[in-house]
Structure 1
Amino acid sequence: MAKVVLVTGVSRHLGGLFARRLSLDPSIERILGVDVVPPRHSIGRADFVRADIRNPMIGRIMAQSGVDTVVHLNVIATPRDTGGRGTQKEINVIGTMQLLAACQKSESVQRLVVKSSAAVYGSSPRDPAMFSEDMNPKSMPRTGFGKDSVEVEGYVRGFSRRRPDVEITMLRFANIIGPNIRTAITDYFALPVVPVPAGFDARFQFVHEEDSIAAVMLATTGPSVGIVNVAGDGFLTVNQCAALVRRPILPVPMSAAGLIGTMVKRSGLADFSADQVSFLAFGRGLDTHRMREVLGFEPRWTTRETFLDFARGLRPVVPGVDAVGGVVTEAAGGTAAALGRVFERIQS
């Protein structure tokens, strides 16, 4: 059972939420919150330790404190939050390598929990309807956060071979959203006009930020379960999401989607990569049987409820767009004629 827990990334939104939630568990004797900058939010009764997981000093912190459980939440999804793609990759990949090296040398570490991502499955037209944990991607992520997540998981698997005595749980989350968290997907659906690959209507699954923390808590204090997909029930399509946030859509040919993504990214409105454009075209589905049957986790929020909780915080940017929300939702199957009727009503 976890007694002394080290949590990485506590100065970020999810890390702070988790530290506060963990603080409520009386069975946890001590919590060490590690990050390179002091948190601006409460981290409960966690002791903040200013340290960089890319530095071998993290090993000394573990040894001095007798850490038995490491919760690695500092795998960063958006380069905007770190000052650029280069720093993001260093933190995600080099930081994870150093953290695992420290865990390998530690005599006290008994459990490792890693926040991973469904981005490891990639997105392609050859994908299965639902990815289970034992499936490999049809097209490997080639850039950005998805590629980082694949490398991080590879290092964790290597660590598990070297330290078979350490219990390991990796949670592959669908896109985490909510009213307070900012990610590439929330930035995308907050755009005044949502560009979508023409002729496609990808399916999405979401995880509410509160459910993500509850799942990490269970992975920390419950049984070790290996790799588990985590997603809310149900699906939403791109067009349905756009209707719920009351945004008009702009169909863009796939040949130009990369250019549009680059322009949006440079504008500072949202982060885009080639893999994110593929995700917007082809989507992704996660099989969550292991989440329920092995991890024993039941999300409180469905995919639709999660997105609605996020959408409530956004204002419409087009006058009268609420009137066309139902039509846009019906157009989720997406024919050109249906899209034309939607835009005619928006302009009237």
Structure 2
Amino acid sequence: MGRVVLVTGVSGTLASRVSRHLADLGESAGIDRVVGIDLRPPEGDLGGVKFVRADIRTPVVAKVIAVEDVDTVVHLDLAPARGRSGSGVKERNVIGTMQLLAACQRSATVSKLVVGSSVAVYGSSPRDPALFMESDSARGGVRTGFPKDVVEVESYVRGFARRRPEILITTVRAAQTLHPEIESPLRSYFLNPLLPAVIGFDPRLQFLSLQDTLSIIEQSVVKDRPGTFNAAGPGVLLLSQAARRMGKPVVPLPGIGFGAAAARIVRGMGGEISPDLHRLLTYGRAVDTSALRDIFGYELSATTEQVFEEFRLAQRPGVLALLGGGR
């Protein structure tokens, strides 16, 4: 018998792609079945994934784990707020994770947990190091929003690890996957015709390719890779460089009140900007990925610059199909 994998948050574009990728691997990777769970069904085709409509914020997730004999849980139901409102996002991120961990703790079958965390756990502040390592903690900017959610989620995961030390846990602190077909705050930001920016700041940004995201989660599932690992394309790209390459003008705004002003401008253009981007677009962030290479055993296939270049080229009509439709 192969692994039975439960993937949370499969209505999201990234989690649905991950679950379909794992299902396609099938027996060749020792995977018997993949079960996807979410409150609403995904818009795209899940292929061989069995979809279960359920809310991980409720105890029903424990029933799903028991009925499906799940032994591997991939938790990807963590997301920042979109648009002007973060209503319900914190409850889904934090309460949902607590219910999922409680279900895993009571389960007699779960032996592995893969947590799709975020480099947002480090926050963004003027006191940040050049590169965050996994042993570093946030210097600032995690008091609200998605960064605070991620810090809380990881603290609950560590508590769970102490209670169930026999369960293997892999935490992947990933940069945003930048791809035309994958929802993310920076994707939405770069698709706007004008790019709001903070006067006097040129933040460093990092991105992760879709292929690397899929491969890292795959290896976390099919191999034993306990620990916490940063994942981001090597190198950095300045916001000013990204704007020039996209051919889009930057709208300089004061730092005070930037979030509200940027939201008004973007909404006026029919776009959206996540309220969690304010500090990132001010101070930026970069992480060290040597542990991913040296301990986890994965060599990243695309640099941050290459990820962005593929994203930029895909904005041209017909180019995405030539790139494999988001391989």
Distance in 1, Cα, partners of 2:304 & 2:24 = 27
Match of 1:29 in 2: 32
Match of 1:225 in 2: 226
- Larger mean CA deviation between 294-303 and 94-103 belongs to 294-303
Following superposition, the deviation at residue 285 of structure 1 comes to 1.1
TM-score between both structures, scaled by the size of structure 1: 0.85
Following superposition, the deviation at residue 71 of structure 1 comes to 0.3
Following superposition, the deviation at residue 263 of structure 1 comes to 1.9
User: Does the 8 A contact of 1:245 with 1:314 survive in 2?
Assistant: no
User: Does the 8 A contact of 1:2 with 1:220 survive in 2?
Assistant: no
3-state SS of the aligned residue for 1:127?
Answer: coil
3-state SS of the aligned residue for 1:116?
Answer: strand
Following superposition, the deviation at residue 210 of structure 1 comes to 2.3
Structure 1 unaligned runs (5+)?
Answer: 317-348
**Count of residue pairs brought into register by the alignment:** 313
Trace 1:1-348 onto structure 2 (pairs within 5 A).
3-25=3-25, 26=27, 27-80=30-83, 84-264=85-265, 267=268, 269-273=271-275, 275-314=276-315
Distance in 1, Cα, partners of 2:148 & 2:15 = 22
Q: Structure 1 residues 64 and 174 mapped into 2: Cα distance closer, same or farther (>3 Å)? A: same
Q: Structure 1 residues 42 and 272 mapped into 2: Cα distance closer, same or farther (>3 Å)? A: closer
Distance in 1, Cα, partners of 2:260 & 2:3 = 50
The amino acid that maps onto 2:48 is: R
Larger Rg: 1
Distance in 1, Cα, partners of 2:40 & 2:219 = 27
Q: Structure 1 residues 226 and 245 mapped into 2: Cα distance closer, same or farther (>3 Å)? A: same
Distance in 2, Cα, partners of 1:118 & 1:108 = 30
Structure 2 unaligned runs (5+)?
Answer: 318-327
The amino acid that maps onto 2:79 is: I
Following superposition, the deviation at residue 307 of structure 1 comes to 0.7
Distance in 1, Cα, partners of 2:155 & 2:267 = 31
Distance in 1, Cα, partners of 2:101 & 2:266 = 32
Match of 1:332 in 2: none
- Larger mean CA deviation between 299-308 and 235-244 belongs to 299-308
Distance in 2, Cα, partners of 1:195 & 1:43 = 36
Q: Structure 1 residues 159 and 256 mapped into 2: Cα distance closer, same or farther (>3 Å)? A: same
Q: Structure 1 residues 254 and 46 mapped into 2: Cα distance closer, same or farther (>3 Å)? A: same
Q: Structure 1 residues 264 and 182 mapped into 2: Cα distance closer, same or farther (>3 Å)? A: farther
Match of 1:342 in 2: none
3-state SS of the aligned residue for 2:315?
Answer: coil
Following superposition, the deviation at residue 264 of structure 1 comes to 4.1
3-state SS of the aligned residue for 2:162?
Answer: helix
Q: Structure 1 residues 257 and 140 mapped into 2: Cα distance closer, same or farther (>3 Å)? A: closer
Distance in 2, Cα, partners of 1:269 & 1:101 = 38
Match of 2:325 in 1: none
Structure 1 residues 230-267: Cα deviation after superposition (integer angstroms, max 9, x where no partner): 01111100000001111011222222423323424655
User: Does the 8 A contact of 2:178 with 2:207 survive in 1?
Assistant: yes
Distance in 1, Cα, partners of 2:126 & 2:280 = 10
